[in-house]
Chains A and B, each alone.
Chain A
Amino acid sequence: MSLLRVQDLWVRYRTRRGVVEALSGVSLSVEEGEVLGVVGESGSGKSTLGLAVIRLLPRSAEVRGSVLLNGKDLTSLPEEELRRIRGREVSMVFQDPYSSLNPVMRIGDHFVELMMEHGAAATREEALEAAGELLERLGVPRERLNDYPHQLSGGQRQRVAIGLALILKPRLVIADEITTALDALVERQIIDLVKEVKREYRTSMLFITHNMGLVAEVADRVAVLYAGKLAELGEVREVVSNPLHPYTEALLRSVPRIGGSRELRPIPGEPPDMRNPPPGCRFHPRCPLATERCRREEPPLVERGGRLVACHLRS
């Protein structure tokens, strides 16, 4: 049984300017100890996916489909039970570490509160001891437990946010663009840290990013989202070296590689307006290979050599 199984997930937001369908029938799974990369641009639905799994979507969002964590459907759990699960079985790290930090609370108190609430520590001292040990392994000196979030550097704050996500030893961590706001060298340190966490703790991860290079470094498999739908899903190495979906291929080509060709090959056109997505294949207005059929019919997700792809040219 997969650790996480997302089945036919649909999410809609009602906005003042119309209904936005952020996810349109996405299915995927994360295995024990696996890092699944989720790649897409803004509007692809990748952040919505993460928030839907841990059920932190705004109330106005309409959700259909199921999210099974260890066989339990999170979409139908009552709120109190969900609170027991968040942090303990599934946790989340955001782009901005302040999303998980309270600016007027000392770092140590974040850990004390979380651990005592979940019964993971009997006393304050016990919680601080465990927190200090974890932080040191994550590269943050123990003394930082006495500091307030603003006294830490950006990289340390993100390490603390990762620590809070790991302290209860959840089986699944959702990481949403966790290095995007960081400077290059700090980003590298956090990437190395994520790889280490993966090796040492064997934590499963849903690793959400817009950066294919990042996914290539940390993920085992990758799901490519375009306009709320899965375009392609497979082993990272295979997807990167031999993309099957024209969008994946275009995305890979559009990023200049240092040492490679200095030619620029942008993806033409604009991302779709999600209030009114294109009919047929959602990528067809930007696809160099689009045919009449692509304009009319939605391509089904089919298996091709152990990989899933939604493209008429491949079916």
Chain B
Amino acid sequence: MSRATSGVEALRVEDLRVYYPLRRTLEEVLRRQQRYLRAVDGVTLSIPEGATLALVGESGSGKTTVARAVVGLVKPTSGRILLWGRDVSSLRNRELREMRRAVQMVFQDPSVSLNPRMRVGDQVKYPLDVNGIGTPEERRAMALEALRTVGLTPPEEFYSRYPHQLSGGQRQRVAIARAIVLRPKLLIADEPISNIDVSARAQILELLRSLRERMGLSMLYITHDLSSAWAIADSVAVMYLGKLVEHGPVEEVFSDPRHPYTKALLQAVPSLDERKAGGEVVRLKGEIPDPLNMPSGCRLHPRCPFATERCRREEPPAVKVGENHWVYCHLFA
């Protein structure tokens, strides 16, 4: 199910690294040493125009840092971010502003990302005000249109409400309306359903999916919830401790996961169906290690039941295991 029609890539991330410097101890200051937290450590991925990529992983995997780097909220330590083929770091002033407008983000918790004292309509209108688009009347009309698009109807009524007068799902719709009012081409959605009620989750996913169709959006969907990735994405990339472990088409990766980490993640999902007999059960040992003490070689090796001497020493290469399906694991090398 690929939506890539034009061959154009909306987003390309090349060997992205984001290291956060750590506060130094006195000894480190004296020795002129600096330690880093390697939040993202060499990630390459791409989203064809019109497609949705799910970036999945647990907390500490670096998935949110990737998103923040793409929208310019953190500065990459190295690597390139290309939007529609253009390196963001080469853009200046007007071009950069236009590019930023084309990429909008929806955050996890609408009760944090929305201003409690501002009418929701005004919040949706705000990006238009800031960018000085149209006349005041036109801006109001565009905000109303965005509210209607996200299903907050009648929009005139919702315009003058405050966030506390809305349900969690409705608040997330407001946040989405604010993100689409500038008519972006790429939407970054960072865990948009994890802080809302179960019955609203499918509604928000359905909304994102319909926006993609109606507005021709490309999407980077960040989540720890694999079943939502299944429902919404064309392809999936799995991250562990700052690195990719596997990526490929959703249907293929989820039906035939190769990396032990991907397998363990999929098997961890509580399931309505009785456990299928057979199939190799992968349980990883322990919990995610402290990212300040990153394991050598393959970062999963201390927890992986299949780890060999080689996994302890060498970083695994990218191995192609199917059409557009890659896995970073010595087992397949």
Cross-chain contact B231 with A185 (CB below 8 angstroms): no
A155 proximal to B (CB < 8 A): yes
Let me know if B209 is at the binding interface, CB within 8 A. yes
The count of chain B contact residues (Cβ–Cβ below 8 Å) is 38
In this assembly, does B157 line the interface, its C-beta being within 8 Å of a C-beta of chain A?
no
B126 CB-CB contact with A under 8 Å: no
Looking at B17-25, B139-147, B195-203, B313-321, the stretch in contact with chain A turns out to be B195-203
Q: How far is the CA of A42 from the CA of B201 in the complex (A)?
A: 13
Give the residues in chain B near A266, CB-CB below 8 Å.
199-203, 205-206
A256 and B203 contacting across the interface, CB-CB below 8 Å: no
Q: Which residues of B contact A125 (CB under 8 A)?
A: none
Is A291 interfacial (CB-CB < 8 Å)? no
Task: Report the minimum CB–CB distance from B301 to chain A (whole Å).
Answer: 16
Binds A, one of B62-70, B92-100, B268-276, B324-332: B268-276
Instruction: Verify if A187 is at the interface (C-beta below 8 Å from B).
Output: yes
- Cβ contacts under 8 Å, A82 to chain B: none
Per-residue contact bits, chain A 238-280, to B (CB 8 Å; 1 contact, 0 not): 0010000000001110111111001011111011000000000
Interface string of A165-209 (1 = CB under 8 A from B): 000000000000000000111111001000000000000000000
Contact yes or no, A216 B272, CB < 8 A: yes
Closest to B61 in A: A183
Cβ-closest chain A residue relative to B265: A184
List residues of B (209-262) whose CB comes within 8 Å of A's CBs: 209, 224, 226-228, 230-231, 254-255
B287 within 8 A of partner (CB): yes
Q: Does A26 contact B (CB under 8 A)?
A: no
B167 on the A face (CB < 8 A): yes
Give the contact-size bracket for chain A.
35 or more
B202-A265 in contact (CB<8A): yes
CB contacts between A and B, total, < 8 Å:
109
A300 lies within 8 A of chain B by Cβ: no
Chain A: minimal CB distance from B154 (Å): 15
A residues in contact with B102, CB < 8 Å: none
Known contacts A213-B269, A259-B254; A254 and B199 CB within 8 A of each other: yes
User: Which residue of chain A lies nearest to B230 when distances are taken between CB atoms in the complex?
Assistant: A258
Would you give the shortest CB distance from B292 to chain A, in whole angstroms?
14
Contact across chains for A256 and B198 when beta carbons are under 8 A apart: no
**Known A183-B288, A185-B284, A262-B230; contact A255-B270, beta-carbon cutoff 8 A:** no
**CA of A256 to CA of B228, assembled, Å:** 7
A152 CB to nearest B CB, Å? 10
Given A264-B205, A266-B202, A267-B202: A214 and B270 within 8 A (CB)?
yes
Q: Which residue of A lies closest to B207 (CB)?
A: A266
CB nearest neighbor in A for B271: A213
* Pairwise interchain contact B199-A251, C-beta atoms closer than 8 A: yes
Shortest CB distance A149–B (Å): 15
| A75 contacts across to B, CB distance below 8 A | none
In the complex, the chain A residue whose C-beta lies closest to that of B201 is: A254
A268, B201: Cα distance in complex, Å: 11
B194: nearest chain-A partner, CB-CB:
A180
Q: Does A309 contact B (CB under 8 A)?
A: no
Contact B272 A212 (CB under 8 A): yes
A210 at the interface (CB under 8 A from B): yes
Q: Which residues of A contact B226 (CB under 8 A)?
A: 184, 258
Let me know if B197 and A271 touch, CB within 8 A.
yes
Closest A residue to B231 by beta carbon equals A256
Q: Select one of A185, A213, A268 contacting B270, CB under 8 A.
A: A213
CB neighbours of B129 from chain A (8 A): none
A32-73 toward B: CB 8 Å interface, digit per residue (1/0)? 000000000111000000000000000000000000000000
**B2 in contact (CB, < 8 A):** no
- The closest CB in chain A to the CB of B250 belongs to A262
**Which residues of A (258-315) have their CB < 8 Å from a CB of B?**
258-259, 262, 264-268, 270-271
Q: Chain B residues near A257 (CB, 8 Å)?
A: 227, 230, 271-273
Is A271 within 8 A of B167, CB to CB? yes
Are B58 and A183 in contact (CB-based, < 8 A)? yes
Which of B169, B265, B268: most chain A CB closer than 10 A? B268
Docked pose: A271 CA to B201 CA in angstroms: 12
Q: Verify B209–A255 contact, CB threshold 8 A.
A: no
Measured between alpha carbons, how far is A259 from B228 in the docked complex, in Å?
12
The 4 A-B residue pairs with the shortest CB-CB distance, nearest first, are: A266-B202, A188-B268, A213-B270, A256-B231
The contact sample of 27 A-B pairs, CB cut-off 8 A, is: A41-B199, A42-B168, A43-B197, A153-B287, A183-B288, A184-B265, A188-B283, A191-B270, A211-B270, A213-B270, A213-B271, A216-B270, A216-B271, A240-B272, A251-B198, A254-B198, A255-B272, A256-B227, A256-B230, A257-B272, A258-B226, A258-B266, A264-B231, A265-B202, A266-B203, A266-B205, A270-B167
A residues sitting closer than 8 Å to B (CB atoms) are: 41-43, 153-156, 183-188, 191, 210-214, 216-217, 240, 250-252, 254-259, 262, 264-268, 270-271
4 new A-B contacts at CB < 8 Å, known A41-B198, A184-B269, A185-B287: A254-B202, A255-B202, A258-B254, A267-B199
